[in-house]
Structure formats: C-alpha cells, structure tokens
C-alpha cells in the first residue's frame, strides 16, 4: 500500500520541490549578489567623492593623487579587488595591479562617462567564476569628470550561495521525507470511511440491510456522507420491512377466508345432483380456490426467503447433500437423474434463502413442467465464480417465452392446469441478482430447457479448477 502511494505521490512531490526550490534558489542568489554589490558600490562612492576632491583640488593635485592611489592600493590589497581610476578620455590614471581594465568595463565606460546610470548588476550563480565588474562615475550631477572601475571576486558570494542552497535543499528534503512517511497514514485516515462505505454498500446489495458504515472516522465531510448513507439504509430497511409485513399479513389474512370458502364450496358437492353444468362450475371454483391458496403460500414463502440473509462459502457446503433429494424427486416424477458437480470447493456468494433452495426450485420446475425423460444438474468453476446448469430434454420454451418466464405470475399457456403460481423463477432470478449473480434460460442442445445459474465469487476468492 505504501509503495503504491509513494509511486503515485512521488511525481507530485518532485514537482512541488522543484516549484519551491528553483524560485527560492534564485531569490537567495539575488539577495547575496545585491548585498555584495551594494557594499562595493558604497566603497566606490566614497572613493568617487575622494577622487572628485582630488581632481578639483588645484595646486595640491599631485599630492592628492598620491594619497588617492595609496588608498586604492590599500583597499585592493585588503579586499583582493582590482581598482582602476580613469579620466574622461578613458586614460588610466591609476591601476592597482598595473593591468588595463577588464574588457567588460570598456563596454560600460562610454555610458557612465556620458552621464548615464550604471547597468544593473547580474546575479552571481555558484557556477559563474568570473569577477563582478562595477563602474562608478566621478563628478557632480551630470558633470562626469572620471570613472572608477572595481573588479570584485565572487568566490565568497558563491560559497555563501552554495551553503544556503544546501540548507534549503536539506530543509525541503526533510519536509518531503516527512510528507512521504505521513502520506500513508493521512491517506488511510481519509480513505478509510470510503472503503468502509464501499463494504457496507456491497453488504446492502447482497441483502444485508443491517450493514452500517462507521460514522466516526475520517474528515467531517466523509462523516456526514457516512451518516447520510446509514440514514438512507435505515429508511430503505424500514420501507422494505413494512412492505414485507404487509405482504405477510395480507397473505395470512387471506389464507383463512380462502380455506373457509373452499370448505364451504366443497360442502355443496352433495347437493349438486346430476347437473353436469353445476358440477363443472363446482370443479372450476375449487381449482380457482386451490390456485389462490397456492399464490398465498408462495407469497409467504417469498417473504420468508427474503428475510434470510445472503452468505459466502464453498459450493459443497451450500448444497450439502441435496443431490439425494433431487434424485428422489426426479425419479418420483418418472425421470432419469444425472448429477455432475465439480469444483465444489469454489467459494461463492449465496443468494438469500440459500443456494440449495435455488437449485431445488429449478429441479422441481423441470420435474413438473418439462415432460421429458431426464434431468441433469451440472456444476463447474468459471474462474473464481461458479456456474450451475439444470437441464431437461423436454419440450422447452421458445425464445420469447424464455424471456418472459422470469416475470412474476407468468405461466406457460400449456401448463395452466399444472399446479404452480408463476412466482418461483421470478424469485430465483431476483435473489440471484441481489448478490450479483444471474439466472438465464437457454435451449438444451437436442431439445429441452436449461436453467443456467451464475454465482459471483466470495470476496478474496481465487480461481478453482477441478
């Protein structure tokens, strides 16, 4: 986790460090350059006043020149700085080291002697080893009578700039290191509520309406989001529970009247004499009441099924020993039974009500409605998920009816006299969809109907092959 975060954050940290270091380094170099140049310009200004006094001193000119030259030489020795004193014709009146002024000074002297301001100094960088040249006019106002040139070594300034850059780089590196070490805990603190919300949302989708996210961690905005999510789930749970209670109460309330009506109708049978039309009406009424009772029982069964939470586990544990019960049910219906379940160690998310109840319903449908000769239950791992097929070799359904077969209360017109309510496949499809699975009806090769159940893998599962 820390490595992934570091890889993601490292480019941003590098850009941030460069964005801080580059302009700050320029500011540091500029400040030290300005300090050094300001000091040297101050010295040059003092010598400029002294030189102007010397040049306008009258009879004492030679003596004053000797004193000025002595001071310039002493200054050059003390600060290791070359100094040149030039007249308006750029003739050297004095050179502290006996050499001509540097070439860089020649390009500036014309402007300075013409009364223009000296150019702004350049920034001294650690890799720039040439001296800093300062040209100062000698005169009053715009009357320039001479010029002073100073060639200042930059070794000291460059060393100070490097030192400050090292301190700055160390400070930025320290801050970046702390940021790298803190980014993990900070990210976990921020994202923990998001991960908790994701887990809670997945649990709610799987049918666990009691799942809640922890509302007391992370930033205030995420805490408010978590509290809102919990309130929403509570409201949904209350709504669903009210609907389920209503369906259950309605079904319970209807069972007794329907049973009473059936009993009353059955008591009429001895009084029907030999009227064939009356007996047909009697039989139709009994069939309708039986069908109504079956619908009510299915509503109660669906309510009870939805009350059972989904779970995760191996296919073998989910199905248990149901194969024996399937065989008994299929053979009782006069059909042959084939079982071929493999990779049953695969861990899957079971639908609400259990995987066994889902397969039970599909096997029962095949026994009652297929009118074929055999029923086959096959199971295979498909990656980390699992696929179960319940296939028969009966009459099957066409493509349009296969699409409608999972609608509530839909029944094949050919099976109107077969016991059933049309809710079984609808409930199976719904509970599978709730956990991220699916139910698909396909044509069996050679004829018949195949119900394909796809179960999603349990969290953290790995592919299983058998």
Tokens of 353: 């009500």
Element (H, E) at 381: strand 374-382
CATH of domain 310-455: 3.30.565.10
> What share of the chain has pLDDT > 70, as a percent?
85
Strand bridging mode 92-95 / 143-152: unpaired
Q: Does domain 2-159 have CATH number 1.10.1750.10?
A: no
Q: Which residues pair with 143 in a beta bridge?
A: 140
Domain boundaries, the chain: 2-159, 214-307, 310-455
- Confidence band for 458, pLDDT divided at 50, 70 and 90: confident
Nearby residues of 255 by Cβ (< 8 Å), 6 or more positions away: 293, 296, 297
CA–CA separation, 445 and 466 (whole Å): 24
pLDDT tens digits for range 85-124: 888 888 888 888 888 888 888 878 888 887 777 766 678 8
End-to-end Cα distance, the chain? 33
- Pick the more confident residue, 376 or 175: 376
Query: If we measure between CA atoms, which residue out of 179, 170, 107, 132 comes closest to residue 32?
Result: 132
- What average pLDDT does range 5-24 have in this prediction? 72
CA distances from 232 to 212, 235, 352 (A): 10, 5, 21
CA–CA separation, 111 and 209 (whole Å): 87
Which pLDDT value is given to residue 466?
46
The structure's pTM equals: 0.46
Choose the CATH number for 214-307 among 1.10.3720.10, 1.10.240.10, 2.170.120.12, 1.10.287.130: 1.10.287.130
Whether 81 and 75 have beta carbons less than 8 Å apart is answered as yes
CA–CA separation, 245 and 243 (whole Å): 5
Convert 261-274 into a string of H (helix), E (strand) and C (coil): HHHHHHHCHHHCCC
* Half-sphere exposure (Cβ direction) of 224: Cα atoms closer than 13 Å: 3
pLDDT > 80? residue 184: no
CA–CA separation, 466 and 390 (whole Å): 20
Q: Which residues pair with 429 in a beta bridge?
A: none
Tokens of 456: 């999603």
Q: Is the dihedral of CA 261, 266, 269, 271 positive or negative?
A: negative
- What average pLDDT does range 264-287 have in this prediction? 76
Which pLDDT value is given to residue 312?
80
């Amino acid at each position: 986790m820390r490595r992934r975060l570091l890889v993601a954050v490292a480019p941003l940290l590098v850009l941030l460090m460069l964005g801080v270091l580059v302009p700050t380094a320029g500011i540091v170099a500029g400040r030290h350059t300005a300090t050094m140049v300001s000091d040297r310009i101050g010295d040059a200004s003092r010598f400029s006043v002294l030189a102007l006094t010397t040049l306008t001193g009258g009879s004492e000119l030679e003596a004053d020149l000797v004193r000025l030259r002595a001071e310039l030489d002493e200054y050059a020795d003390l600060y290791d700085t070359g100094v040149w004193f030039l007249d308006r014709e750029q003739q050297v009146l004095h050179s502290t080291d006996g050499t001509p002024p540097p070439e860089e000074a020649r390009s500036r002297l014309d402007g300075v002697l013409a009364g223009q301001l000296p150019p702004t100094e350049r920034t001294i960088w650690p890799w720039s080893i040439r001296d800093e040249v300062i040209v100062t006019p000698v005169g009053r106002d715009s009357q320039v009578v001479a010029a002073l040139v100073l060639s200042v070594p930059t070794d000291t300034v460059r060393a100070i700039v490097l030192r400050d850059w090292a301190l700055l780089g160390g400070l930025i590196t320290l801050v970046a290191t702390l940021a790298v070490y803190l980014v993990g805990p900070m990210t976990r603190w921020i994202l923990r509520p998001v991960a908790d919300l994701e887990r809670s949302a997945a649990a709610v989708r799987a049918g666990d309406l009691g799942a809640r996210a922890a509302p007391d961690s992370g930033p205030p905005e995420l805490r408010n989001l978590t509290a809102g999510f919990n309130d929403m789930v509570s409201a949904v749970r209350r709504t669903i529970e009210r609907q389920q209670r209503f369906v259950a109460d309605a079904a319970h309330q209807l069972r007794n009247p329907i049973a009473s009506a059936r009993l009353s109708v059955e008591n009429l049978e001895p009084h029907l004499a030999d009227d064939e039309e009356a007996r047909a009406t009697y039989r139709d009424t009994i069939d309708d009441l039986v069908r109504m009772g079956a619908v009510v029982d299915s509503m109660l069964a669906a309510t009870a099924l939805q009350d059972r939470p989904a779970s995760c586990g191996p296919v073998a544990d989910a199905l248990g020993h149901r194969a024996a019960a399937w065989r008994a049910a299929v053979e009782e219906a006069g059909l042959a039974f084939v079982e071929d379940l493999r990779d049953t160690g695969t861990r899957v998310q079971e639908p609400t009500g259990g995987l066994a109840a889902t397969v039970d319903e599909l096997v029962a449908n095949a026994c009652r409605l297929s009118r074929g000769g055999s029923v086959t239950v096959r199971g295979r791992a498909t990656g980390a998920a699992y696929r179960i097929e319940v296939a028969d070799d009966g009459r099957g359904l066409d493509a349009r009816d296969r699409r409608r077969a999972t609608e509530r209360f839909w029944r094949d017109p050919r099976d109107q006299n077969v016991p059933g309510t049309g809710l079984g496949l609808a409930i199976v499809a719904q509970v599978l969809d709730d956990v991220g699975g699916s139910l698909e009806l396909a044509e069996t090769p050679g004829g018949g109907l195949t119900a394909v159940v796809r179960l999603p893998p349990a969290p953290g599962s790995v592919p299983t092959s058998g």
